[in-house]
Amino acid sequence: MIKIEVDMNQCQNYGQCVFEAPDNFKLNDDDELEYVAEAPDSERDNIEAAVDVCPMQAIRIVE
């Protein structure tokens, strides 16, 4: 399993992560980010892409 952390104080809800890893990130009805804190290893490439595209660098994978 992959552990994901998002610094919600740093996140500005741009939603770029949603495009890269839609199974793990989404914008709710208020356009605020929601995410799952753990994901299967098969999602690693998508999550790494989400980390890379985050303009605020608010997402990290916890090893």
pLDDT in tens, 4-30: 999 999 999 999 999 999 999 999 999
Residue with tokens 């839609």: 22
Within 8 A by CB and 6+ apart from 11, the residues are 33, 54, 56, 58, 59
pLDDT at residue 40, rounded to an integer: 97
Within 8 A by CB and 6+ apart from 23, the residues are 39, 43, 46
CATH number belonging to the domain at 2-62, selected among 3.30.479.10, 1.10.287.180, 3.30.360.10, 3.30.70.20: 3.30.70.20
What one-letter code names the amino acid at 39?
A: A
Q: Is the pTM of this model over 0.85?
A: yes
